[in-house]
Structure formats: C-alpha cells, structure tokens
Structure 1
Amino acid sequence: MSQKLLCNCNGTMPLDAKVLGVPVHTSLCRQEVGVAMKAMNGSEELIIACTQESALFSELAMQSEKPLVAPLRFVNIREIAGWTQEAKTSSPKIAALLALADMPAADPVPVVNYESQGRLLIVGPGHQALSWAEKLGSSLDVSVLCTDPSPLPLARNFPVYTGQVTKLEGYLGNFTVDWDLQNPIDPEMCTRCGACVEVCPEGAIDDAFQIDLNKCKSHRACVTACAGIGAIAFDRVERKRSSEFDLVMDLRSDPQMQMSQTPQGYFAPGSDAFEQSLVAQQLLGLVGEFEKPKYFVYNEKICAHGRNGKVGCNACIDACSTGAISSLFNNGQGTVEVNPNLCMGCGACSTVCPSGAMRYNYPSVPHQGKEIKALASVFGAESAKAKQSIAPTLLLHNLKVGTQLIDALGRAAHLRPKQFQGLPSFVLPYGIEHIASTGLDVWLGALSYGFGEVVLLLTGDEDPSYRAALETQSTLGNAMLAAYRFDARISLIQLDSVEDLQAASAAMGKLRQRGALPAICSPASFGLTTQKRETIEAVLEHLEKQAKTPLPVGGVALPSSSFLGGLKINQDACTLCMSCVGSCPEGALLDNLDEPKLSFIEKQCVQCGICVQTCPEKALALAPRLQTVEARKQRVEINETKPFHCISCGKVFGTAKMVDLMLLKLGAHGAFSGSLDRLKMCSDCRVVDMVNKET
C-alpha cells in the first residue's frame, strides 16, 4: 500500500476525511507543501490526489533529500468527483479512484524502433514548398517535389523535382515515393542557365524552367540550346522516378494519405500557413532514433483468415484505418501480417477479431480486468457502507483526449453549474489508450464484476470505421444480454468534437436524471485472460447461472456479426466429403475415422464462414446464435450416412451418397463408358480393372 495525500483545493471540495480514511489537506501545493515534501522523504510509495500541480510536485520530488521509493503517481478527484453537482455523495467514487491509482503498473511491452536521418520531402505547389525548403534546409536534408510550376531558386541548395505523385507509402525513416516526370525539362538536371528561355520563340519557358506545352510549337530550339546539359527531352521514355525519405510534408489540398491516423513522419497541413508552421516545428524534432510500444500480439495458429485458398474472416483488415494489416497466403494457408511501424495502436483489430488471434497488449486485457474489478469492488463496498448500495457505471474513454474533455467538463460544472453538468457520482471514468481497443471481453467482464452498465465516450476524432465497429460490437453485446432477458447495458456517447462541452454535459445530465442502473448479476470472482473467447465463455457461464429465464432449446438468434453460433446443414445435399473439416481453422468440424460421420462443436466455431465457402455442394450455412454453455461444449453429429464398400475388394472408400453423386456426374464420361462399375471400386481396384480389360 502507498501513502495518499488528499487536498480539498482551498475548501472547494467537500471531502470527508473520516469516510475516506485519509487526512484531507486544504492547500497542499502552497502553505502545506511541507507535508508533501516530508512524505517524499518517507519509505512509502506516494499518491497525490491532484493532477493540476503534478509538475510542481514532480519538481519537488527531484529536489528531495533521498530518491523516491517509486515514481510519484497522481489521480484527479477534483474535476471527476469533488467539483460535480453530487460531490457530497461521491465518496465511493473517490475511494475507487484512489484504489485504482494504487494498482500495480502494467507490465512493459516490446517496443518498435524508428531511425530518421532527417531526409525530408516537401510535396506541393512550388511557391509554398520551395519557401519551406529554404527555411528548413539548414536543419534537415530537404528535397522538394513541385506539383505546380514555380520560379526556382538560382542556388541549388537542395534537389528540386517536378511531377505528380503516383505512390507514397511507408513510415518515419522509411518512406518510398514514386512520381512521374511529366514535363520535358528535368529540374534535377537543369542548371538554370536560361539558354532555353532565350531561344524559345513562343516564350513557353519562364523562370520556373518548365515548358508550357500549350504554348510550345515544337521548334525544339530549347533542346539544341541544352544539348551540353541534356536536361530537356520531349521523347523521354522513362518518366518514372522514385526515392526514399525519412519525413514527408504534404502541402497539397488533396494529400496522398487521408486516413484518420497517418503514419508517423507523414504530415499533411494543407495550405494553412499556421498549420504548416506547427508541422515544421515537429519535423525539426524528428531526427534521430525513436521508439513506440508494440501494441498488439498476433497468434496465427487460431487465426480464421483463410484456409485452402479461401478467405474467411477479414475483420481486422477491414477495421484497420492505417493499412497496417495485410492478407498473406502461403500454400493455401491464410494469415494476416501486421506492420508494427504502421500500427498506431487503435486496437480495433482486437475488438473485431472473433477468435482472439489478434489481441491488444497496451495494456493487456488481464491488466485492465484487474483494474476494472478493483474499481467495481471498492465502489460497491464503500457504497454499501454509505447505505447507498448502487452499481457504478463504467465510462470508457481515450486516455488523452477523453481525459481532457472530462477535466474541462468538471471545471465548467464547478464554475458555471447552471450551464454544465459534470460526471454523476455513480460514473467511474476509465482511460484507455484508444477507445477502439476495448471489446466485448472487457465490456461483459465489467458487467460481471458488478458494473451496472458500460458507456463508451467517443470524442469525434475517431475514424468512421472505428465507430462502426464499436456500434456493431455493442449491438452484439446487448443481443447476448437480451438472450438472458437482461436489459441493454452497453451504450455509446458520440460527440462531434472533443470541445463540445454542451453535448458532453447533456449526456451526463441524461445519466444523472435516469440514475444508476442495478447490477445484472452478483460479482464474479474470475479474472479476464489473454484468450478472448475463454474470457467471454466464462462471463456467459456466469450470466447464464443468474439469467432471469433459461435459454430456450436451440438457443437465441444473434446478429450476423456474431462470432458465436452454429451451422445449418442440408443433409440431403451433403456428401460427407469432409472438405469442411479440412478447412475449419478452429477445429469446430470433425470427421470420424471409423464411419462417415460429421460432427460439430459449437464452442469452437468463430463463424468465419470458410467451411461455407469450401463446401462443394453448398450444403452449409452459418447460424449465429447463443446456446447454453453446456450445449456449446457438446460434440454433436450433424450428418452421417452409410459407408460404401468397394465391389471388388470390399474396402470402404467413400459414402453411399458420394458414389451416387459420382455415378450421376461421371456416368456419361468416356473414361467410364461401358464400365460404370469402376466408379464403385476403390482407386486400386479401378486400376487393376482397367489393366485387365486392356490385356
């Protein structure tokens, strides 16, 4: 345990020291700063319940007489609880927030490295691109690609190219740019001597040293004048150019990369001068070696992307807005490949992955589960002490922008309480690296731990694909709850902008007016695991035991987006060829070595659909549904038929249906003309019969 320092911020928060069990100070950052300094020299880890003055306390810690036992930790209780309309009843929330701050830090994750030597390409209209090249050229290794002609500087201090970009891909320290040289004059070879300008009879060449092809009458006097240099060629065959850069500043109004999260090292400020100046400052700091977390872990063994050359689940590729995930097939086996340098850590891939092959790791789900469980447990215990006995609401938000919004809302609610409403006393905010990184395993896990509901706060800066994925997953989660006769408990608050305090206030007002929702079940004791399906199975088993009514026989239908479900089979069409068994990536379909039987274990099925695509008879269809935990565990025979014995040696070599189908489809084939019995033989006997007939 650690020592906790609480301050009521000059008496503006009604903190109850007796209820919280911690001394409450009034001016910890001013007159009582000695208390903090004394604590820093103590033998305990230290948590300070003030984020506003974190810089001050951190500086004091550096000046302390001895090194701290552990780094200072800060928690905000002021804007989240102490300055809200329900501050007097927020003790359970404050206790939960303090308990969260006391939790161990997440385990470190591997890092992804970048190296930049400062090779910058500025793309855009010449008058802007060249101006910034002059300004940045003394600090960075600048090149310019002019997409519109502009007077060229006489001094060749940096390379200047012209043309149109055909491809731009990569990331910090590793960009590849292809473009087409569309003008007869190659500015990289041009010495800017002006000989071509002097001899051109139409005046088609100016100080941009590009030929205006609308004015040019093909006299070719310029070619003759430039013969010694060779910069002009009207019949140039090879127009493609390519080069590598560490950084890209794209000034075009229609930039090459338009995803919501562009790769590190790529900036597209457009034509706005202020935005361009901000980017220029960032570029100056991007020379050297850098690193970022490796956000994901991928287990290709359970990936349902593809088998036998068929594509099944494509969810992670569709959800990724940065193009970091691509399809990879090797000998028919389909997996996905993630470029960690392009991955920006949104985590949407793990949210939509049905098998758990792709999982978010910054932090891991088990770590999040422990923290969420602690929040629910402490809030519940303190609420019971206060004789409130209400279940909290878990408010998930982006760690950076979401925290800024919540802090701003709390401040506005304190200063202008008639205009703004802060977080209700039962709403516990929980920041995550990116809102798209959280999925059903965390949401349903939170409900099983005693939260009354889970609310996702979207602040308007998310890629549309992320919003769509979260909406789809929340709909699926509520459908699962409905199957057990529980009310919908997963919802989204979608703001247009992180600065829209009015909309955020209105959303909090609705929650406050409605009040806290009761927990749907008694708190679970299990922990969340790295295996997504294992976690969800544990949660569903816990909910099933406390469901209002048991699931009906055959289960309850779920949306088509479900990763839980069974299979429908047309037994008349199925020949038991077992191609579906070989294609199933999860082992949900099984054959029988002794007799022609097809079995299915629903718990293993991820509804990827590869079996449906593989079946030559189109006899299979997905059936998204929620059955009882016990029913999903069972191995169920979904089709069987009589074996067919070779009419020559008696060996089983297929099924009666399969042979009947062969007779129907191949009976008229010339190879079996007059010898239909060969279709009733095993492969060995068929060869013997052919040899005997020929001799």
Structure 2
Amino acid sequence: MTQTLICDCNQTMPLEPKMLGRALAEDLPLHSSLCRREAPAFQRAVQSGDEVIVACTQERRLFNALADQTPDATSPIRFVNIRETGGWGRDARNAGPKIAALLAAAALPEPDPVATVGYASQGRLLIVGALDIAERAAALVADTLDVTILSQGQGVAGGAQERRWPVVAGRVETLTGWLGAFALTLVRDNPIDLDLCTRCNACVTACPEQAIGLDYQIDLAKCTSHRDCERACTVAGAIRFDRTPDRVAASYDLVLDLGAVPLIDWHAPPQGYFHLGEGLATAEALQTLLNLREMVGEFEKPKFFDYKQKLCAHSRNEQLGCNACVEVCSAHAISSDKARQRIVVNPNLCVGCGACTTVCPTGALGYSYPRAPDQGGKLRTLLSTYAHAGGRDAVLLLHSQEAGQTLVERLGRDAQLGKAQGVPAQVIPVALWHAASTGIDLWLGAIAFGASQVVVLSTGEEAPAYLAALKQQMDIAQTLLRGLGYTGSHFRLIEAATVAALDTALAGLSGTRQLRPAEAARFAVAAEKRNTLELVLDHLMEGAPALKTAEAPLTIALPTGSPWGAITVNKDSCTLCLACVSACPASALQDNQNAPQLRFIEKNCVQCGLCESTCPENAIALVPRLLATPERKQPVLLNEAKPWACIRCSKPFGTQKAIESMLGKLAGHAMFQGEALERLKMCSDCRVIDLYSARNEMKITDL
C-alpha cells in the first residue's frame, strides 16, 4: 500500500485533494506546512510500514533526517516535485490532472537494479599545462592526491625554484583510458633531462638567445647551437644535444589538462579527465578541483546499455552494414569489430547518453537505465492517469535530469515570482538520464498511449551528433504519422539554455491539437525495440484515418535512415546467388529450399544495407517506406529463375542465369578450357566423379 502526502506549500498552490484522490483511488488530506508544523503527519506515515510518497523535493533532506529520528520508522520514502512542474505557474489551476499523473508515476515500483561498471583510483593525478599554473593547481590538491606535472612551457611567471612535485616534459604521443586507467606515452626529445637538472639556473644565464626558460627546457626554435648551456652544465650533465629521443610510458588515475587545446577533445571525454582551458580563476575550475580531491577510492556507475549481437546489423561477411551507433557516439565508446561481425562497446567510456540505442534500428543496443519496459510503463501511467483525471491534449516534455531538470525548476520558481508563465498545465515533464536516451519506439508508443505531442528539451549540453540524430528520428516518426493520416506536429525538439527561452517555447505549445488514435493503447512496452514498434504500428494503423479512405494499399515513403522499408531487385542483373540471404541479419530476405527463389518479408527489414553492399551484381537498392497493410508481414516473391540441370545426372543445382554468367566470365581463362569448363556445368557430386574418372583414365593410358 502507498500513502501520498501532498502539501500546497503555505497555500501557494491551488491543489484539489478530492480530484487527486479520485484519480489515485486514495484519500489525500491536504497539508500546507508538512515540513514544519504538520511534520507529525509525515512521522505517522513513515511509521505505518507503507511506502510513502512525499510531494516535495525541496525539503528532501529534512524529511529524511526526520525519518531517521522517528521511532519505528520503517517506510520507504520517495519524493516527487509537483510545485515547480505544475503547482506554480499561471496555468496552475488547470494543472490538477498533470499533478495526479506525476503522483501516480512516483508510486510505480522501482525498476530492477542494473549491472554496474567499477573504477578504482589511487589518486595519481597528472596535471598538464604551463609550469606556473600547473604548480598553482598542484598546491590546491596535493594534500589528497599524488601529483605529477607534465610541463608545457614556463607560462607567464615560470615555475617555482623549489621542486615540490615531480615534473616531466616532452611531446605527448598518446593519452588514452579512463578514471583509474589513463595511459600516457611521452616522447622526450629535449636536450635537457629534467631528472638530472638541479634548477641551478646556470644554463638560463649562459644562453645568449634566451632560449631556456624557467621550465628548464630549450626552445629549439630560438637556439642557434652555441652550446654555452651545455658547457655551463658540465657537472650535472643534464644537457646533451646528442641525446637520442626516448619514448616513455606512464599510468595515472586522473588527468587535469590546463592547456588551451585539450589533449582529448571529445564532446564527452572519459571520466577522470578534466579540461580547464580558461585557467583556475573560474567557478568551473574551483568545482573541478573540489571534485578531483574526492576522486580517490572505488567508484561505480550503471552499465547503461545491453547489447544483443544476434540482432546487430553492423556487419556480415566482412561487409559493413549499419554503422549508426559508431557514428553517433560522442564518447568514443563504440567501435567496429568487423572480424567478429559486431560492434564493441567500452562500458568504461560510455556516459549513458543513449543516443546509440535511439538510432539502432534493430534493438541490438538497448538502453537499461531504466530499461524500455520500465520507461514505457511510466509513460503509459502518466498518460492514462492524466486522461482519467480529465486532462486533454497531454504533451510529454522529455528532459535530462541534470541541466534540463534544473531549467524546468527555475522556470517554476520564476513563475511563482511573476517573472515567467511557468510549465503549462498540459505539459508533463519527464526526467531522463539524458535527453537522447529515448527514441522512436517510446515516442510513437507515447502517441499510442494518448499523448498529443512529445517534446525533447535540449539545453546545450548535448553533442551536435545527438541533436542531429534526434531530428532525424523525429522526422521519420512524424512522416509516418502524417502518412497514416494523423495530422499535426507530434514531435518537437526545443533548444533552450535559458529560462526565458524555455518559457517562450512551452507557451507556444498551448492551444495546438494533434490528431491521434481515438482510443489509447494498453499494451506493455516490450524488451526488444522491434517488438514494441510492431505493437505501436498495429495500434496506429488500426484507427489510421488514411487507411479508412484508401482505395489501394497504402505505402508511406519515409526519410533515409528509417528502420522500416523494402528493397528493389533488378531481375535482369540478379543471378539468384542468394548472397543477400546469408548477409541479412533480420531474416527479411529468405530463399526457398524447393526452388530458386528470393523472398522478402518487409516487416523484418531494418534497412541496414548489408544486402545492397553484399550483392556482387549491384542488383539491390533500399527503399525506406512503410507498407501499411497486413501484407508487410507476409513473404513476397522478389525474383525466381529456372534451375540449371546437371549435364551428367540432370539434378537441378543453381540457376540458369548464374551458371551461364559464370561460364561467360571463365570461358577465356586458361584454367577452364575443355573438360574443366564442362565440369562447371555439373553438380558438385558429378564434378568429383568426373574428375576422378578422368584421372583413372590417364593412369591406364600411361600404363
């Protein structure tokens, strides 16, 4: 059983407890000061043993502390924000159905735990940058971290005379890895060996070109080879112009890069790598240094993805097919392994954006934080409760749970202060780990569950490749709905980095109505993407306006990159070699064991292009589309040919076109003349028998 505690926050929210209670089938007393004078009501609830939902996130810490101080408090507690997301705003009086939906979703069971990825850091920090600023950074963290400085010049002031931390110098060849496992390869090609240098400054004084700074490395562009420095360093022997460059390798747990140009310039760099190109005088720099001090020990993060190789359409027979996940990943966590006919995902580099799962046409890559059935169940609960409470034209606002959620909450606070309109009553915010972690299956599923529109919020933290992928997937989904006759604009990407921009964008959603199925779907989102898409398509086609008036089978042309489609086969070129059948990862292309035929099931096709790239005759072309009829689930004949009969036993094998094509290509070859050419017209068994008989005849003739 669940107890839900609602509070109108000192009567600043126009809550309707009776309406909310009816929608949730629960008695909901209204509180106005639950975190203060009415706190005993919370204490009684957590002593009941029932799960407790507290409709306040601002005082989460206070409520948890209060529960710890309450005798016999055994109830699990969850928190949900109904204030900034709906209770505060110009449209708050109409936000009751949305608030009911948010409360219902908060009461859903917690998703099953996911696998985790572990990191271990001993605190070995590499600071890269000009020596003066690197030493200042080292001074701020060296009491908790084991610091090494990679000097990239002396900087403005030069390094300190005292050698407080190990300093290395050289040209960075490679820097790879992640938290606890960074590997640096450095080429030391400067005449001054910092391990031998005593910082006596004799070389600095002796150099007539001033080519040596207080980083104790020679600027070879200024040096004119007087060798005065080398003579001044005779005793220490740290300077030798004839020294052979050497390559050294070292490992670190953390990297702080203070260079103007980052050593790792990815949009989503590895965990444990931090770049501060603007120096140490910013708020970001202070927060980074504080974070670094805490990064010693063992850490875990969720394993955000599930990979099913049997569904993957990446490669077959050394041919590249779908490469969407590799191309979209800004964390460089996904690579191609054509030898094993698969992709490889490095869980240590994965940041959980989910863009790979969004663009994956087969569902081979699935998002697991949360998994699709859990996320789908949440969307269905939100939309069904919203409708049950009397809400109309629901809009789902999908946003990240960090920057996106912060922006939504700031909008609510500004609305309470009269500076903004706030989140409209029909807009239901849904927090995700990352804005790109849901795709066409859940978006279309939301429309089937009753949503009028699905809006994804980008706050500027997303990689350009992610935004391009979201726009492409939205284009596909929208084209599909319009082709089925559902008019309007059902999907939208909002790019807003400020409260004002978000307020304006959300205000523009009000009053718009999108045509959708008359009855909301009730199916559960499946674990596999293609299964969910089939359920969605069946529901959308069942009530599609375009199908009610269509006089012929409805074919909807879709944009390139669609996960649905057909293929065309040039029958004049196709020899029915069936290489495409063996290459197809989705069993969309099939042969016939009883006759030379090429058959196709359109429902299975994922438009990966493996058949197109595999075909030796270039006879296949992709056609992104949706055939909105039951026939898309049935095999259709694409090509057939007469079988070739073995000239020795008359058993059929291959096709006439394939054998004649092979004979034509090999007729002029020296290895295939006379009897050898004739054997190509035989089945495999007769070819062996004929060859064996010919050899025996030769032996008898020799005798």
TM-score (norm: length of structure 2): 0.92
Q: Which residue is 1:610 aligned to?
A: 610
Task: Find the partner of 1:48 among 12, 34, 54.
Answer: 54
- Corresponding residue of 1:456: 456
Q: Percent identity?
A: 45
Q: CA deviation at 1:369?
A: 1.2
Q: Tell me the residue number matched to 1:74.
A: 79
Post-superposition offset of 1:601: 1.6
Q: In 2, are the aligned partners of 1:177 and 1:244 still within 8 Å (CA)?
A: yes
SS of the residue corresponding to residue 437 of structure 1 reads: coil
**Structure 2: runs of 5 or more not aligned:** 22-27
Cα distance, 1:585 vs. partner? 1.5
**Residue identity in the other structure for 1:283:** L
Per-residue deviation at 1:391?
Answer: 3.2
1:23 lines up with 2:23 in the alignment: no
Correspondence for 1:85: 90
Q: Indicate the residue corresponding to 1:278 in structure 2.
A: 287
Give the match for residue 682 of structure 2.
Answer: 681
Matched, 1:540 2:540: no
User: Cα distance 1:485–1:693, how it changes in 2: closer, same or farther (>3 A)?
Assistant: farther
TM-fit CA distance, 1:616: 0.5
AA aligned opposite 1:268: H
The answer to whether the 8 A contact 1:537-1:629 is kept is no
Deviates more, 1:313-322 or 1:620-629: 620-629
1:501 to 2:507 alignment: no
- The answer to which of 666-675 and 226-235 deviates more is 226-235
Shift of 1:181: 2.3
- The Cα of 1:686 is off from its aligned counterpart by 5.9
The answer to which of 246-255 and 162-171 deviates more is 162-171
- Which consecutive unaligned segments of at least 5 residues does structure 1 have? 384-388
Q: What is the one-letter code of the residue matched to 2:174?
A: K
Cα distance, 1:135 vs. partner? 3.4
The 2-side partners of 1:211 and 1:74 are apart by 61
In structure 1, what residue type is equivalent to 2:678?
D
Q: Distance in 1 between matches of 2:214 and 2:389?
A: 77
* Distance in 2 (alpha carbons) for counterparts of 1:693 and 1:615: 41
Distance 1:59 1:224, change over 3 A: same
Counterparts of 1:437 and 1:616, CA distance in 2: 38
C-alpha deviation, 1:692, in angstroms? 7.3
Match of 1:289 in 2: 298
**Match of 2:369, as an amino acid?**
Y
Q: Deviations over 1:17-66 (max 9, x none)?
A: 22223111122222222222232222322111112222221211111111
Q: How does 1:177-256 map to 2 (within 5 A)?
A: 177-194=184-201, 196-197=203-204, 204-220=211-227, 222-223=229-230, 226=233, 229-256=236-263
Distance 2:410 2:135 in 1: 41
**In structure 2, distance between residues paired with 1:204 and 1:618:** 63
Offset, 1:211? 2.1
Q: Within 2, Cα distance between the matches of 1:522 and 1:46?
A: 33
User: How big is the shift at 1:693?
Assistant: 8.4
Match of residue 313, structure 1, among 313, 316, 322 = 322
1:637 corresponds to: 637
Greater displacement, 612-621 / 191-200: 191-200
Distance 1:206 1:411 in 2: 54
Structure 1 residues 396 and 199, CA, compared in 2 at 3 Å: closer, same or farther?
closer
Q: CA deviation at 1:638?
A: 1.0
Q: For structure 1, which segment, 352-361 or 96-105, has the greater mean C-alpha deviation from structure 2 after superposition?
A: 96-105
- Could you tell me which residue of structure 1 aligns to residue 24 of structure 2? none
Per-residue deviation, residues 314-343 of structure 1 (Å, max 9, x unmatched):
01111110000111133xx41011111110
Q: Is the 8 A contact 2:647 2:681 kept in 1?
A: yes
Q: Distance in 2 between matches of 1:668 and 1:218?
A: 69
**Residue type matched to 2:99 in 1?**
I
User: CA 1:639/1:127 → structure 2, altered by over 3 Å: closer, same or farther?
Assistant: same
For 2:561 and 2:617, the matched residues in 1 are separated by 25
Contact 2:359 2:439 in 1 (8 A): yes
Q: CA deviation at 1:265?
A: 0.7
Amino acid corresponding to residue 605 of structure 1 in structure 2: C
Checking the alignment, whether the CA contact within 8 Å between 2:48 and 2:73 is kept in structure 1 is no
The question of 1:355 aligning with 2:362 is answered yes
Residue 136 of structure 1 is matched in structure 2 by 141
Q: Distance in 2 between matches of 1:25 and 1:214?
A: 75
Aligned AA (2:404): G
Cα displacement (A) at 1:680: 2.1
Look up the match of 1:386: none
Q: 1:430 aligns to what SS in structure 2? A: strand
Alignment RMSD: 2.1
Conserved 8 A contact 2:553-2:629 = no
Report if aligned partners of 1:390, 1:516 keep a CA contact under 8 Å in 2: no
| Greater mean alpha carbon deviation, residues 134-143 or residues 224-233 | 224-233
Q: CA deviation at 1:121?
A: 0.5
Q: Give the structure 2 partner of residue 345 of structure 1.
A: 352
Q: Structure 1 residues 398 and 202 mapped into 2: Cα distance closer, same or farther (>3 Å)?
A: closer
Partner of 2:509, secondary structure, is: helix
Residue 212 of structure 1, CA deviation: 3.4
Q: CA 1:8–1:138 in structure 2 vs 1: closer, same or farther (change >3 Å)?
A: closer
Distance across 1 between alignment mates of 2:521 and 2:622 = 32
TM-score normalized with structure 1 length? 0.94
Match of 2:4 in 1: 4
**Contact 1:460–1:494 at 8 Å: present in 2 too?**
no
Question: Match for 2:444: what amino acid?
Answer: L
User: 2:205, 2:403 → 1: CA distance?
Assistant: 58
| Offset, 1:397 | 1.1
